[in-house]
Amino acid sequence: MKKVLTTILAGAMLLSLGQGASAATKKITISVPDPTTSYIYAAADEFAKRAKAYSGDTLEFNIAANGSLYGGDTAAGIKQLGSGALQMVVLASSVYTNFVPGLNVISVPYMFDDQAQLLKYLNSDIATELFNRVNKMNITVAGKWTRSFREVTNSKHPINSPDDLKGVVLRVPNNSLYVEFFKACGAVTTPMNFSEVYNALQLNTLDGQENPVDVPFSNKFYEVQKYISFTNHMADAWLVGINSKFFKGLDDKQKEAILKAGAEVQQWNVDMMAEKDKVALQTLIDNGMESNDLTSDNQKKFVEVSKSCYDKFRELIKDDKLFDATAAFTGRK
């Protein structure tokens, strides 16, 4: 009887230990807005691999593409992340601006010279304070990654200076930053859902559109556009968000693993985008598009147009101190 009781107790202890080990392993779903072939999916996958390894394999990740978990509605995705309905979401800082208006400062046209300066800014005390504002929404920022700058494509002629945009019918997102800037350049701005853009370009309802180079590549705009001009007019960032309550429930090693992976993938993402952008551009050229870069003098002309809109941009950002600190950081003041 004593032997049987000992065996039962030993079995119970083993079962208890097994349950404890299982409970320590956390499964996390990361939601991203774009397809499995996208840059951001690749970056999320790299993040997941690193965080899993750094956690001692106690974190397991699944990546949900195409914004499927929030029905493609980014505002809903942010709200669900804050409520805890979603664990992790990677979205552009620009889509957070309805909740944190200060994040508009990142996308002020020509606020940043290049990726290197944007990266430096994202790691600055100014940006740290800015991204910390998201914490009030019960969202912890686990990573701040850059995006490729936006370029102009059109079917009329190369865009070398603001004058070249005069009269060009250009699709822009329904966002005042874009509308005000391109109107100031002389373009005829046409806010439109992206799903309608290809047909509008094909029918010549639009002359052009603006997006990072991977967008005309992946959407085969080379079939309906002749020119891509590397205007590099607008920046954006990816905000890697995790529900704060969920994050606090992780053990210290798991928290550290997530933050370490988020920080490391920042540079990995920059390098990955640079390589993939080259492939995207070469594909556009191979399919008949012509590309051009701006001269330093012409870029300064675009910067001056943007500066002429600063009063309107300040109204959107609703934080003069932040605007001034950012402009001073990037030499725009």
In sequence order, the β-bridge partners of residue 208 are 154, 170
The yes or no reply on domain 151-234+287-329 and CATH 3.40.50.620 is no
Q: Which is higher by pLDDT, 14 or 234?
A: 234
Which of 17, 93, 32 minimizes the C-alpha distance to 63? 32
Which of 137, 141, 166 minimizes the C-alpha distance to 154? 166
Average pLDDT of span 90-104: 93
> CATH second-level architecture of 25-148+236-279?
3-Layer(aba) Sandwich (3.40)
Average pLDDT of span 61-90: 96
Can you give the pLDDT at residue 192?
87
pLDDT band at 18 (very low <50, low <70, confident <90, very high): very low
Rounded Cα distance between 67 and 74, Å, is 8
Which of 128, 123, 76 minimizes the C-alpha distance to 102? 128
pLDDT band at 10 (very low <50, low <70, confident <90, very high): very low
Whether residue 65 is predicted with pLDDT greater than 50 in this model: the reply is yes
Matching CATH topology for 25-148+236-279 and 151-234+287-329? yes
Whether residue 5 is predicted with pLDDT greater than 80 in this model: the reply is no
Domain segments of the chain as ranges? 25-148+236-279, 151-234+287-329
- Residue-wise pLDDT for 29-48, tens only, equals 999 998 898 899 999 999 99
In the chain the first and final C-alpha atoms are separated, in Å, by 85
Can you give the pLDDT at residue 318?
95
Per-position DSSP letters for 11-31, written without gaps between them: HHHHHHHHHHHHHH-EEEEEE
Average pLDDT of span 221-245: 97
Per-position DSSP letters for 79-112, written without gaps between them: HHHHHTSSSEEEEEGGGGTTT-GGGGGGGSTTS-
pLDDT band at 126 (very low <50, low <70, confident <90, very high): very high
Can you give the pLDDT at residue 9?
44
- How high is the mean pLDDT of the chain? 92
Whether residue 22 is predicted with pLDDT greater than 50 in this model: the reply is no
Q: Which is higher by pLDDT, 169 or 13?
A: 169
Average pLDDT of span 245-257: 98
Average pLDDT of span 276-291: 97
